[in-house]
């Protein structure tokens, strides 16, 4: 009988040993852990498998005096090894340069034995520190489990949730022995001894923004589920341990906002109003403020203006005091001409952008050609040369045909100067003195008339067009032409940050051509009126200057034009919140929808339209768009040419009048000489006639 009992005991031990080998000792309790710690080690892997993403890092952190529980937990979790596991003890990562393996939206298990808030703070700060400076905050999707095998009092749980909420960790639970539950109606503790529940580990959390009296403050703690400490352990209700805590409605909770004064209607500005009692009230205005009001209305939140922290003004832009105010929950959001550069601060994150403010180079616009130069722009230099050569060839051809024609021709077509004069008269549409006689010359002359009619028609059409609108000179159209032109460049000192990390080659060109202006206004005037400087402007600024006619000429023509490839920096206008703030998702969602609907751009266009009307310089509607008035002003060059012709004719007449007496004397001398020659010939004829007759022998005559 005794032998049989020994064999039975041996078999039991062998079965236990075999089962332990198969399960790798998972079901054998560690001799160094108590019952609560054993079930804590079993409960945490269950939560991890169910709620932690396999693609994200799992960080297991504990103080050195809780190392045995941590080792058992690590061994249990590494049986499946579906997460990259990072182990920290007293905040020190056991992997060299392990901080590179921790992502901000991973999962965290933080073990604290007794719910001591200082121990939790030390571990949280160690994960956020890099050296002696806090450089890392967590995203709102990051899941935290704070666990301990000893009882956490209600005040300890409140302190833990309150501390985590300050660094915007709302997606967190506490796992600890369950000795009480929370009466949700009265918020009082109810001892578990009053109900028959046995020993359990409770999973606790809290829900922010449940009412206007309970917003970001930890007031009510909720028991989500219970882990029964019996056998292998299990949850009683299997409820979702990480439910959505931030709803779309925030029940009238305040949104504390810092609105810094950018002194601009299109972003933010302050305006003072005087009440009837003489008190001055200051209001925040601007399109960004209007956008925030719509967002808060959709979120059912109340706007609370918070004074701008020292150093965060638009002139300085320092964020240290702003971050402290956000961590202390004195403010939740900041706006006022904030953009991409704010992302360099790891504590801050920006919402969806609602406007892209581009900074680009603006060059002097092309100026109109003088109307008197229109006649020279009708034809290119090559065509003018062809016309001159054609006139010369036509003159020579007419001269040769006139000289060697079989039919007698007028003297005016036999000399080159007279032929060129006739050719020039035809092309100007003026009648010639005499028409050619010979058929060959008439054919050549007719061909030249046809050419002259065609040329004159085209010439007059272009001349009329240029007289109405003389056109513009070719402007600078791209950055290559800008650098090649040698024109001076200028940008305000506030834009130095744009070029600090820019391309060295381009930066060297800019610095080489940088203008030395007495002031920004002087450079602006030089660019508009002297056309010798290119200036860096924000597109929104330039659009506003166009609207109020600051950079328009007398005929509403733009004086500064932008280069399409001249963009050097894009500033994505957005609002700023603490990194990982759970409100960020809802705020960005609403802003994204408003941007898709085009609200912000529409508001800007309305303000620009109103500015144009107030400036009274730009016609909003032009019913004659595409048409031009044609009056005496546009005919000035034609009248100038006509006046020049009259002056030349008058000058010729004056010289002809002066030389008329001399010409008359010459004519008299010629006529007189001709008459004397005629009389002499008559006399000679009479005196020689008889002699001639004597020499003529007539038939029947006698000598």
Check whether 161 has a pLDDT greater than 60: yes
Total tally of structural domains belonging to the chain: 3
Measure the CA–CA gap between 243 and 245, rounded to whole angstroms. 6
Check whether 84 has a pLDDT greater than 90: no
Region of 537 (left: φ > 0; alpha: ψ -120 to 50; beta: rest) is: beta
Q: What's the token pair of residue 10? A: 């041996």
Residue 431 belongs to domain spanning: 371-468
CATH number for position 438 = 1.10.287
State which of 205, 235, 265 marks the end of a domain. 235
Same-domain check for residues 37 and 159: yes
Identify whether 150 is part of a domain: yes
Same-domain check for residues 384 and 434: yes
Higher pLDDT, 28 or 608: 608
Identify whether 538 is part of a domain: no
Q: pLDDT-based confidence at 31, cuts 50/70/90?
A: very low
Q: Return the pLDDT at 224.
A: 92
Read off φ and ψ for residue 131, nearest 5 degrees.
80, -115
- 168-207 burial, b at 16+ Cβ within 10 Å, e below that, comes to bbbbbbbbbbbebbbeeeeeeeeebeeeeeebbbbbbbbb
Give me the sign of the Cα torsion angle 240, 245, 249, 253: positive
Check whether 672 has a pLDDT greater than 70: no
Least confident segment among 131-135, 388-392, 569-573: 131-135
Task: Report percent pLDDT > 70 for the chain.
Answer: 78
Check whether 446 has a pLDDT greater than 80: yes
Contact 284, 267 (CB under 8 A): no
Q: What residues contact 225, with CB distance under 8 A and at least 6 apart?
A: 202, 203, 235, 236, 237, 238, 239, 241
Highest mean pLDDT among 477-486, 632-641, 667-676: 477-486
Q: pLDDT-based confidence at 433, cuts 50/70/90?
A: confident
Check whether 1 has a pLDDT greater than 70: no
Measure the CA–CA gap between 663 and 670, rounded to whole angstroms. 10
Measure the CA–CA gap between 655 and 264, rounded to whole angstroms. 72
Identify whether 91 is part of a domain: yes
Q: pLDDT-based confidence at 701, cuts 50/70/90?
A: very low
Q: Return the pLDDT at 139.
A: 77
Q: pLDDT-based confidence at 146, cuts 50/70/90?
A: very high
Q: What's the token pair of residue 536? A: 């860096």
Mean pLDDT, range 380-396, rounded to an integer: 88
Contact 336, 260 (CB under 8 A): yes
Contact 563, 366 (CB under 8 A): no
Give me the residue label for tokens 């008299």.
668
State which of 354, 381, 408 marks the end of a domain. 354
Q: pLDDT-based confidence at 93, cuts 50/70/90?
A: low
Measure the CA–CA gap between 236 and 44, rounded to whole angstroms. 15
Same-domain check for residues 381 and 327: no
Mean pLDDT, range 281-299, rounded to an integer: 92
Digit-coded pLDDT (tens) for 626-643: 555 666 666 676 677 778
Long-range contacts of 420-427 (CB under 8 A, 24+ apart): 420/391, 420/392, 420/395, 422/395, 422/398, 423/391, 423/394, 423/395, 423/398, 423/448, 424/391, 426/452, 427/391, 427/452, 427/455, 427/456
Digit-coded pLDDT (tens) for 176-218: 987 544 444 334 443 433 333 457 899 999 999 888 888 888 8
Say what the alpha-carbon torsion angle 300, 301, 302, 306 is, to the nearest 10 degrees: -160
Mean pLDDT, range 290-317, rounded to an integer: 92
Q: Return the pLDDT at 353.
A: 93
Same-domain check for residues 162 and 309: no
Identify whether 127 is part of a domain: yes
Q: pLDDT-based confidence at 667, cuts 50/70/90?
A: low
User: Residue 481 carries which DSSP code?
Assistant: H
Q: pLDDT-based confidence at 537, cuts 50/70/90?
A: very high
Check whether 249 has a pLDDT greater than 50: yes
Same-domain check for residues 309 and 345: yes
Read off φ and ψ for residue 88, nearest 5 degrees.
-130, 145
Q: What's the token pair of residue 401? A: 């045909």
Same-domain check for residues 172 and 60: yes
Same-domain check for residues 95 and 202: yes
Task: For the chain, give the mean pLDDT.
Answer: 79
Digit-coded pLDDT (tens) for 457-467: 888 887 777 77
Same-domain check for residues 350 and 395: no
Give me the residue label for tokens 């004659």.
624
Same-domain check for residues 459 and 377: yes
Q: What residues contact 52, with CB distance under 8 A and at least 6 apart?
A: 58, 83, 107, 143
Q: Report the predicted TM-score, pTM, of the whole model to 2 decimal places.
A: 0.69
Q: Return the pLDDT at 549.
A: 87
Identify whether 167 is part of a domain: yes
Same-domain check for residues 398 and 349: no
Identify whether 31 is part of a domain: yes
Q: Work out the burial of residue 500: count CB atoms within 10 Å of its CB; fewer than 13 is exposed, 13-18 middle, 19 or more buried.
A: exposed
Q: Return the pLDDT at 346.
A: 80
Higher pLDDT, 360 or 366: 360
Check whether 622 has a pLDDT greater than 50: no
Task: Report percent pLDDT > 90 for the chain.
Answer: 21
Measure the CA–CA gap between 32 and 41, rounded to whole angstroms. 13
Identify whether 47 is part of a domain: yes
Same-domain check for residues 420 and 345: no
Mean pLDDT, range 157-176, rounded to an integer: 88
Which residue, 308, 290, 295, is CA-closest to 255? Answer: 295
Strands 254-259 and 302-306: what pairing?
parallel
Q: Return the pLDDT at 18.
A: 45
**Helices (DSSP H) in 198-308: which residue ranges?**
287-299
Helix-helix angle 599-615:583-596, to 10 degrees: 60
Measure the CA–CA gap between 581 and 623, rounded to whole angstroms. 53
Digit-coded pLDDT (tens) for 102-125: 556 678 898 888 777 777 777 777
Same-domain check for residues 266 and 415: no
Identify whether 481 is part of a domain: no
State which of 423, 450, 468 marks the end of a domain. 468
CATH number for position 299 = 3.40.190.10
CATH number for position 199 = 3.40.50
């Amino acid at each position: 009988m005794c032998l049989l009992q020994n064999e039975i005991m041996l078999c039991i031990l062998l079965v236990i040993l075999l089962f332990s080998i198969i399960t790798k000792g998972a079901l054998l309790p560690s001799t160094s852990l108590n019952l609560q710690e054993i079930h804590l080690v079993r409960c945490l892997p269950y939560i991890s498998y169910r709620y932690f993403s396999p693609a994200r890092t799992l960080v297991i952190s504990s103080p050195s005096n809780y190392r045995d529980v941590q080792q058992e937990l690590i061994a249990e979790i590494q049986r499946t090894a579906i997460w990259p596991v990072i182990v920290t003890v007293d905040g020190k990562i056991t992997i060299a340069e392990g901080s590179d393996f921790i992502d901000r939206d991973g999962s965290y298990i933080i073990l604290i034995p007794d719910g001591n808030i200082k121990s939790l703070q030390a571990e949280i700060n160690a994960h956020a520190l890099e050296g002696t400076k806090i450089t890392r905050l967590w995203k709102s999707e990051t899941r935290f489990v704070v666990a301990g095998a000893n009882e956490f009092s209600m005040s300890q749980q409140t302190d833990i949730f309150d501390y985590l909420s300050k660094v915007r960790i709302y997606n967190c639970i506490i796992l600890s022995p369950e000795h009480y539950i929370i009466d949700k109606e009265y918020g009082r503790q109810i001892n578990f001894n009053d109900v028959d529940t046995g020993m359990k580990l409770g999973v606790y959390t809290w829900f922010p923004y449940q009412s206007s009296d309970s917003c970001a403050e930890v007031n009510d703690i909720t028991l989500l589920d219970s882990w029964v400490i019996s056998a292998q352990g299990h949850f009683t209700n299997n409820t979702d341990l990480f439910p959505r805590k931030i709803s779309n409605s925030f029940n009238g909770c305040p949104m504390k906002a810092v609105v810094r004064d950018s002194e601009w209607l299109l972003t933010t500005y302050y305006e003072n109003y005087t009440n009837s009692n003489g008190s001055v009230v200051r209001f925040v205005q601007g399109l960004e403020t209007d956008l925030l009001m719509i967002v808060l209305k959709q979120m059912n939140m109340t706007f609370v203006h918070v004074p701008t922290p020292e150093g965060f003004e638009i002139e300085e832009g320092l964020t240290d005091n702003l971050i402290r105010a956000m961590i202390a929950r004195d403010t939740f959001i900041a706006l006022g001409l904030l953009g991409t550069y704010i992302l360099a601060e790891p504590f801050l994150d920006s919402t969806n952008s609602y406007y892209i403010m581009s900074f680009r180079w603006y060059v002097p616009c092309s100026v109109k050609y003088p109307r008197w130069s229109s006649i020279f722009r009708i034809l290119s230099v090559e065509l003018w040369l062809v016309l001159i050569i054609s006139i010369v060839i036509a003159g020579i051809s007419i001269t040769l045909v006139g000289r060697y024609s079989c039919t007698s021709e007028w003297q005016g077509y036999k000399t080159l100067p007279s032929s060129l004069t006739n050719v020039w008269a035809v092309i100007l549409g003026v009648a010639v003195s005499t028409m050619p006689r010979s058929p060959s010359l008439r054919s050549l002359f007719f061909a030249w008339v046809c050419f002259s009619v065609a040329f004159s028609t085209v010439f007059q059409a272009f001349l009329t067009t240029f007289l109405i609108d003389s056109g513009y000179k070719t402007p600078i159209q791209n950055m290559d032409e800008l650098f090649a032109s040698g024109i001076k460049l200028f940008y305000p000192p506030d834009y130095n940050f744009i070029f600090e990390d820019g391309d060295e080659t381009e930066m060297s060109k800019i610095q080489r051509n940088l203008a030395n202006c007495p002031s920004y206004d002087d450079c602006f005037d030089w660019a508009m009126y002297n056309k010798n400087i290119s200036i860096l402007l924000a597109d929104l600024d330039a659009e506003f200057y166009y609207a109020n006619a600051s950079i328009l000429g007398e005929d509403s023509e733009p004086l500064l034009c932008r280069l399409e490839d001249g963009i050097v920096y894009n500033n994505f206008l957005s609002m700023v919140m603490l990194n990982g703030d759970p409100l960020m998702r809802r705020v960005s969602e609403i802003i994204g929808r408003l941007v898709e609907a085009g609200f912000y751009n529409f508001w800007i266009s309305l303000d620009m339209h109103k500015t144009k009307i107030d400036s009274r310089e730009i016609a909003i509607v032009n019913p004659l768009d595409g048409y031009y008035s044609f009056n005496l002003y546009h005919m000035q060059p034609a009248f100038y040419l006509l006046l020049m012709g009259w002056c030349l004719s008058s000058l010729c007449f004056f010289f002809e009048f002066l030389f008329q007496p001399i010409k008359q004397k010459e004519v008299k001398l010629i006529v007189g000489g001709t008459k004397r020659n005629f009389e002499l010939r008559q006399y000679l004829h009479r005196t020689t006639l008889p002699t001639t007759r004597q020499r003529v022998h007539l038939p029947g005559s006698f000598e």
